Amino acid sequence: MSIRTLRSKKLRKKKKKVLQWKLGVFCLLILAIVFGCIYVLRLNYLQIQEVYVEGEYTSLSTRVSEDVGSVLEGKYLWLIPKTNIFLYPKSNIEDALSLNYPEIEKYSIELDIFHTKTLKITVKERQEIGVWCRYVSEKEECYFIDNSGYVFEKSPNYSDGVLMKYSGRIQGEPLGAQYVPRETFQKIISFVNAVNAKSDAYMLRITGLNFEKDSNLTFRLQNGGSLFVDLNTGLTQTFENVSILLSQDSFLYEIEDGSFIDYVDARLPGKVFYKVQ
């Protein structure tokens, strides 16, 4: 073996040792950075200190606070707390609010990073405009419905006329269901308000709606009668037809004479039929 060959082997061994040493130092540096980051991320100063729920009504405060607290429990990879102000699971909180609280119309999530470390959740609760009801085992069961037609919370049973009562359309679980498309529902609300404003003195006041299928609506009247409407005719046109009926002396005379409305049929364009008893 020549001297040059021996020197080449020694040189390769030396370079290999230097490379191994550099690799070891690099790994130690990476580990130091990782554990340093974990240590910093675990500092109490960088944790959410409080969950605060704000809104016009406080009925949801305790429940929302507890549920959000549950989402923040635990650690990532058993090392980093989920309460860390930079890594807290905001999307999981949003999912919990959207799935578990149909009574919340909208919400916002804000975190005060620099001062109190408070997670503030501002909620706007839905407001009932009526109730949607069904019969289960011959017992009436009702749920609040908002002005978009969204069913959001179980309600106590109300006497007819206290709140507008809706029925039909929804199959299965009503909570979180849409009665009809938002635009259609708001047109229905406008129609009901217009008819009631014009006909309150004539016993044609609407107190409920049954909408089973197709485009046929059956409005329940305060005196127990019915108002039949077809959405295809258009609620604006239907209101004009009903207004013409309410201006007819013959109809008003029958109502003032003590007769009760059995039904008013306004499904055909430009025509209104009625029966009193």
Q: Are residues 271 and 229 in the same domain?
A: yes
- Given a cut of 90, whether residue 12 has pLDDT beyond it is no
Dist CA 18 CA 123 (whole Å): 61
Q: What are the residues whose beta carbons fall under 8 Å from the beta carbon of 2, sequence distance 6 or more?
A: none
Residue at 179 is within a domain: yes
Residue at 33 is within a domain: no
Q: Are residues 134 and 269 in the same domain?
A: yes
Residue at 146 is within a domain: yes
Q: Are residues 91 and 226 in the same domain?
A: no
pLDDT tens, position by position, 82-112: 999 999 999 999 999 999 999 999 999 999 9
Query: Of 92, 125, 158, which residue constitutes the final position of a domain?
Result: 125
Q: Are residues 163 and 271 in the same domain?
A: yes
In the numeric block, the tokens 């295809």 are attached to 232
Q: Are residues 186 and 51 in the same domain?
A: no
Q: Are residues 142 and 267 in the same domain?
A: yes
Dist CA 161 CA 135 (whole Å): 18
According to the model, what pLDDT value does residue 108 have? 95
Q: Are residues 113 and 137 in the same domain?
A: no
Q: Are residues 136 and 242 in the same domain?
A: yes
Average pLDDT over residues 197-221: 85
Query: Of 95, 125, 155, which residue constitutes the final position of a domain?
Result: 125
According to the model, what pLDDT value does residue 256 have? 73
Domain hosting residue 100, numbered range: 44-125
How many domains, the chain?
2
* Residues 112 and 48 sit within 8 Å (Cβ to Cβ): no
Q: Are residues 158 and 231 in the same domain?
A: yes
CATH for 86? 3.10.20
Q: Are residues 58 and 119 in the same domain?
A: yes
Residue at 30 is within a domain: no
Dist CA 91 CA 186 (whole Å): 32
According to the model, what pLDDT value does residue 6 have? 56
| CA distance readout (Å), 213 to 45, 176, 229 | 59, 20, 12
According to the model, what pLDDT value does residue 255 have? 77
Residue at 206 is within a domain: yes
Q: Are residues 171 and 188 in the same domain?
A: yes
Q: Are residues 162 and 233 in the same domain?
A: yes
Query: Of 103, 125, 147, which residue constitutes the final position of a domain?
Result: 125
Residue at 237 is within a domain: yes
pLDDT tens, position by position, 159-198: 677 899 999 999 999 999 999 999 999 999 999 999 998 8
Dist CA 242 CA 263 (whole Å): 12
